[in-house]
Chain A
């Protein structure tokens, strides 16, 4: 569906994107990952023809960009915002028209989507009167109403409550079943891991890792100890035989140094905290991400809940 070859872009002598190549197929969720400033948004903007690349090619089904391909793309930008004073239905209709839909078809589709998200009653209200979650739903509708073949979602789950996250995930999965190509752009690795089929990890404008999620994880082998525990886990940061640790509130992922024995490690951990669950698994994407772009320091992630 989308093929990007050797894409380059720099701003005022700083290189934002340095020769990126990737392909997104239909029926696939493609994770475009990387820390802030890695070049994700710049890449997306070039795919969307908001920015003109300095070099490289972007093709849709083998065709270069044109006004016609423009209408086949849907976009949910990272920074949300629609016209605050605009009415819900009119806003959706406006953006649908901008994507080349006829007004009558747009009306039918808008009503279907609004009903799907439980927003039919809010059609006549101003956007600013809606809750943040509902505003995000409207924004999502704006991105997909014209039934695009390629959907680009930039941090779609940021700021969403768990209920809305599930609604969005279901909507994305449905798109996937309908053979749409989806680019899912995030720095939240756990989201990417659960949703993406394949991925590409950017750092400082370059691809540092790519492949299917399964393949990538396999390549790193089963050398990660995923534990859930109760107690003060701070001592885990200093354990020998661990080359990297990602610690959550009551869980941790420990990447073993080659040759370290998991059994010994578990015994020592058990001395400090009460282990509730332990698994030896492939590293999480988060851990791989940290290994590739982090600086080797222990990472403490203050989120609630466990790893999975």
Chain B
């Protein structure tokens, strides 16, 4: 089932459809938020808030404008993370600049963080360049927790078709990343 259909059903208050979107993109959202060096609990709260906002405003998402659902979702996550970082730095200033012990689980330099975010955006953009049927297959194979048989059932197509879409999609993705000198 492609994103557009799931978004349409979610807009009609179908939480089962939205649950599939969460399962599909939760890993991507956690990974993106992980680039902001936030404490674990804050990270989960922000991920949760990202999906809640997406659900509340799902009727605003317009796939016709060309943006993919994942891009829209990542934009929400980004805005939330930036606001949270600003709030945290204000709190730090007020508390005399002492850093919370919990604050970055794994301290990295700002340059490392920027590099990781940049890498993330480039891979994300490359995935978004895939033609729709390959895009869905690749996203499902990387980020969804479903087996190929379950994907075939959802997509209402034979297992062999899903497998060949994943194969072809990954081939195209590799070509895109090679062009970008990332492989």
Question: Do these two chains interact?
Answer: no
Q: Which A residues are closer than 8 A to B by beta carbons?
A: none
